[in-house]
Amino acid sequence: MGNTEIVGSFRSEIEQDRSNQAVLIAEKVSSGYPLEYEIGYTSFLGHRFFVNESVLIPRPDTEHVVVSAEQHISEDSKVLDLCTGSGCISITLKVRNPDITIFASDISKKALTIAKKNAEYHNADITFIEADLLEGIEDWFDIIVTNPPYVPTDMIEKLEKGISHEPFKALNGGEDGLDFYRRIESSLDCNLADDGLLIAEIERQDADTIPVLFEIFSKWSISIEEDLADRPRTLTVRRKERG
């Protein structure tokens, strides 16, 4: 067999392997398995992020948290990303605003492993912290951003099939979906700078959700920002003006 025939044979085998792999991926995805987990990455605001079943799959809705935060960021801003997961929020903020100082925390060691891999891929200098929300974090921050678990427990099994493969703890927001907002509020006074902001993703599950958020943060000045689809998407919290 000549060199040309050998190369052609290898090429044919490679193409067949790729074809077989594509069929296997298509079959798995058609059964409800997320494509992003199968191929191992996804896109967030134009940047690639590695993902697996240890982290939620970044979604376009969460991009609004980044955009909202950038309206308030300055070069010397100190930022904390709570429940960082894949690190998509913190890493994107650092890539787009390289002069900021940014920390990112998560309770999951496995999630932090993925976040660190993504930070290394993007050459993003981020300090990662293993922590349960703000517990044990003593620093003050100009901006705290978060996409916390906010799906009511009994709603999780009713979501699209692919959601079942995503980490339950990263979805489960308790009975009404607002447990993590309550926990964040209880510690916020110790970690938010005097003129600082909390920017959190929200999802209006029912007509009562936003009024309850106003009750939870009743000691604070808060506002709700809508996304491009005119749906409530981010909660912004700041200290009330004294006097």
Tens digit of each residue's pLDDT (9 = 90 or more) over 120-177: 999 999 999 999 999 999 999 999 999 999 999 998 888 887 788 899 999 999 999 9
Domain range for 45 is 32-239
Q: Residue 111 is part of a domain; what is its CATH number?
A: 3.40.50.150
Rounded CA gap, 193 and 175, in Å? 31
Return the percentage of the chain with pLDDT > 70, whole number. Answer: 88
- Give domain status of residue 37, yes or no: yes
| Residues composing the chain | 243
- Give domain status of residue 7, yes or no: no
User: Does 74 score more than 80 pLDDT?
Assistant: yes
For residue 54, give the DSSP letter. Answer: T
Question: Tell me, what's the pLDDT at 123?
Answer: 98
- Count of structural domains, the chain: 1
Question: Tell me, what's the pLDDT at 7?
Answer: 36
Q: Are 70 and 96 in contact (CB under 8 A)?
A: yes
In a 10 Å sphere around its CB, with 0-12 CB exposed, 13-18 middle and 19+ buried, how is residue 232 labelled?
Answer: middle
Does the predicted model carry a pTM greater than 0.85?
Answer: yes
- Give domain status of residue 24, yes or no: no
Rounded CA gap, 37 and 29, in Å? 10
CA 19 vs CA 6, 7, 40, 44, 123: distances in Å: 20, 18, 18, 28, 34
Torsion angle defined by CA atoms of residues 74, 76, 82 and 86, in that order, rounded to the nearest 10 degrees: 80
Rounded CA gap, 186 and 191, in Å? 11
List 238's β-bridge partners, or say none. 197, 221
Each residue's pLDDT tens digit, 84-93: 999 999 999 9
Return the percentage of the chain with pLDDT > 90, whole number. Answer: 72
Radius of gyration (Cα) for the chain, nearest Å? 21
Question: Tell me, what's the pLDDT at 231?
Answer: 83
User: Does 229 score more than 50 pLDDT?
Assistant: yes
List 47's β-bridge partners, or say none. 44
- Give domain status of residue 233, yes or no: yes
**Residues 76-102 as b or e (16 or more Cβ within 10 Å = b):** ebbbbbbbbbbbbbbbbbbeebeebbb
- Give domain status of residue 102, yes or no: yes
In terms of DSSP H, where are the helices of the chain?
3-30, 35-39, 63-70, 88-96, 109-121, 179-188, 209-216
Question: Tell me, what's the pLDDT at 162?
Answer: 78
* Between 92 and 35, residue with greater pLDDT: 92
- Give domain status of residue 41, yes or no: yes
9 — pLDDT class (breaks 50, 70, 90):
very low
- Give domain status of residue 156, yes or no: yes
- Give domain status of residue 168, yes or no: yes
Among the residue ranges 23-27, 37-41, 61-65, 149-153, the one predicted with the least confidence is 23-27
